[in-house]
Amino acid sequence: MTMDAPYRLIIADDHALFRQGLKSLLEAQPDVVVVAEVDNLDALEPTLAATPCDVLLLDLQMERWALEDIESLARRLIVVVVTASESLEDAANAMRMGARAIVQKRFAVEMLMVAIRAAVSGMVWMPPALQAELASQAGISNSRRLTAREAEIVRYVSTGLRNAEVAHRLSITEGTVKTHLNNIFQKLGIRDRVELTNYALRGGFLTLRERGRS
């Protein structure tokens, strides 16, 4: 995918009316093209093998629960979950497995496009209300253990910025960023950037405004 090329999407959803309606709405957008659609998970693998794709719009509940498929799919392309579920646990688990965005089906296509564009830009996205619920339920006592600079680094790294980009934003060296990240990992008991992003989502570090900065 080049900078000027439209994002190539595959829709995986077993409800024909929703799938076809979504395809029609997305095709009206200037920066996306729907290259395929599938109505079951068994058809998804051969479709992905035959069709170059940048983003998969995945319904969690088709003929079976799709949550366990996200981890392997997310290694190959950007997964945006489009679901009727309002479950906090479903959303958190999908993000933990590697989804880059969660959009509930009751939202308008404009919200979906915000999520897709954020995900393609290397960020994560979740509806603000769901994000606030995650923060309120998780309790962010761990955040009190972070310094102000460490909290800044959590926000930047969790939006997909590389160490060098974080260093540039904060006018510090890349080595200093690495040192801060090591300290953050130790304080929070996490191992990598994926877990850090999940922590940032639960702790309310990632706001829609902050995601739009990069």
pLDDT beyond 50 at 212: no
Encode 86-112 in three state secondary structure. CCHHHHHHHHHHCCCEEEECCCCHHHH
Place of tokens 């799709």: 66
Average pLDDT over every residue of 17-46: 94
Q: Return the pLDDT at 205.
A: 60
Domains of the chain: residue spans and CATH: 7-126 (3.40.50.2300), 139-211 (1.10.10.10)
CB burial class (10 A; 0-12, 13-18, 19+) of residue 144? exposed
Confidence label for 90 from pLDDT (cuts 50, 70 and 90) = confident
Q: pLDDT of 91-141, one tens digit each?
A: 878 887 889 899 999 888 999 999 999 889 877 788 777 766 665 554 444
Q: How far is CA 176 from CA 166, 183, 190, in A?
A: 10, 11, 19
Amino acid residing at 136: S
Residues 6+ apart with CB under 8 A from 137: 88
Residues 6+ apart with CB under 8 A from 173: 167
